[in-house]
Amino acid sequence: MKSMLKKIKPKHTDLKQAVLSLTLATGLSIGAGSAVAEELSVATFIPPQHHINAFYFDWFGKELAERSGGSLTIKVYPAGQLGAGPVQQYKRVVEGVADIAFGLQTYSPTIFPKSVLIVPPGKSATALEATERLLSVYDEHLADEYEDVKLIGLFTVAGDAWASTRDISTVEGLSGAKIVPFATMVTPLMEALGTVPVQMPVTEMYTGLSTGTIDGTTISPAQMGKPWNFAEVSTHYIDNIPVSFAVFFVAMNKERYMDLSDEHRAIIDELSGETASMMGATSFHNEGLRGKKWLASKPAAMEEITSVTISDAERAKMDATIQEAMKGIFAEYAERGIDNAEEIYNAMNK
């Protein structure tokens, strides 16, 4: 879908510069004197201080307001104010409970079976790389999964660490550990590694670690600190893990989009696609970098945490096990009538 893929890409490691670049490069001055003033509701399940609210939707709202002369604005409802929990976010936007919603495809894998093929470990190491690969196959393989909404953005976050209450830095250490993967679909991969996968929303993982319901969870480094604070309930931080991904959408109710004026729809269209997607990936990527910088500063919150980097030899064992187990996932897809899952996965990992 070439209309989905714009030419603008923010710089990878500087949020302020990314916003400036986008503003200058995509500035679209559309007179909205004839447009009726519109406020779009935005549903998110995450806390107000989370960077998706504080940065991403702040950027998006400012762009809408500036380009429309103030006649098109958003109001963000964080922390599940329009419906608790992350699982029903897509349903909320399809049904019009919210005009726009931020959510995870991995909570609706039966709706997005092809999109979540970006989740398993492959060639990507960062949110930026995985998002670019995701967009590169959108037209050919993924577009039909978003026919019920106006898709604004599609992006990923890298799960490149484990927070745990035991040492799981070796294949032996993983054996029997109750681990939350980034998505349900990688359950067979985690089982192949010897773990006991546990499905749990991110909003419940802090309690899970503190009560022993789980032994570990896949995270982005920033989650050791605020607002998730996993350092408070972990004993180990493990990196150099096989990197998996969560994939997110920002989508708009299709009827609400069509009810907008031509001027307002044009503004939404100009921001949608690669612009909004790469900004989302940049938001997560830079948050990960912030988390790594925070960890490197040896904060007081990490004083009781044992940090371990998985050795290259152990990592090679894990990678080999995962690639062998992927055959089972492709076979399961074929049983569900998706015969080209391996082709899509390979296209995402060129």
Could you give the CA distance from residue 326 to residue 244 in angstroms, rounded to a whole number? 13
Are 308 and 167 contacting, i.e. CB atoms less than 8 angstroms apart?
A: yes
Q: Which of helix, strand or coil describes residue 134?
A: helix
Nearest C-alpha neighbor of 264 from the set 25, 4, 32: 32
Are 186 and 166 contacting, i.e. CB atoms less than 8 angstroms apart?
A: no
Render pLDDT for 225-257 as a digit per residue (tens, 0 to 9).
988 999 999 999 999 999 999 999 999 999 999
Nearest C-alpha neighbor of 49 from the set 255, 202, 215, 228: 228
Amino acid 183: pLDDT: 82
- Which structure tokens are listed for 48? 């107000």
Class of domain 22-348: alpha beta
Q: Is 58 exposed, middle or buried (0-12, 13-18, 19+ CB in 10 A)?
A: middle
Amino acid 34: pLDDT: 56
Are 244 and 157 contacting, i.e. CB atoms less than 8 angstroms apart?
A: no
Alpha-carbon distance values, 159 to 120, 163, 252 (Å)? 10, 11, 26
Could you give the CA distance from residue 143 to residue 214 in angstroms, rounded to a whole number? 36
Are 268 and 260 contacting, i.e. CB atoms less than 8 angstroms apart?
A: yes
Q: What single-letter DSSP state applies at residue 52? A: I
Could you give the CA distance from residue 167 to residue 238 in angstroms, rounded to a whole number? 8
Could you give the CA distance from residue 245 to residue 225 in angstroms, rounded to a whole number? 19
**What tens-digit pLDDT sequence spans the chain (350 residues)?**
444 444 334 344 444 444 434 443 444 444 434 568 999 999 999 989 999 999 999 999 999 999 999 999 999 999 999 999 888 999 999 999 999 999 999 888 899 999 999 999 999 999 999 999 999 999 999 999 999 999 999 999 999 999 999 999 999 999 999 999 988 889 999 999 999 999 998 889 999 999 999 999 999 999 999 889 999 999 999 999 999 999 999 999 999 999 999 999 999 999 999 999 999 999 999 999 999 999 999 999 999 999 999 999 999 999 999 999 999 999 999 999 999 999 999 999 99
Where are the domains positioned within the chain? 22-348
Q: Which of helix, strand or coil describes residue 156?
A: strand
Nearest C-alpha neighbor of 200 from the set 220, 222, 179, 219: 179
Are 171 and 193 contacting, i.e. CB atoms less than 8 angstroms apart?
A: yes
Please count the helices (runs of H) and the strands (runs of E) in the chain. 13, 9
Buried b (16+ CB within 10 A) or exposed e, 186-196: bbbbbebbbbe
Render pLDDT for 320-338 as a digit per residue (tens, 0 to 9).
999 999 999 999 999 999 9
How far is residue 313 CA from its own chain's centroid? 29
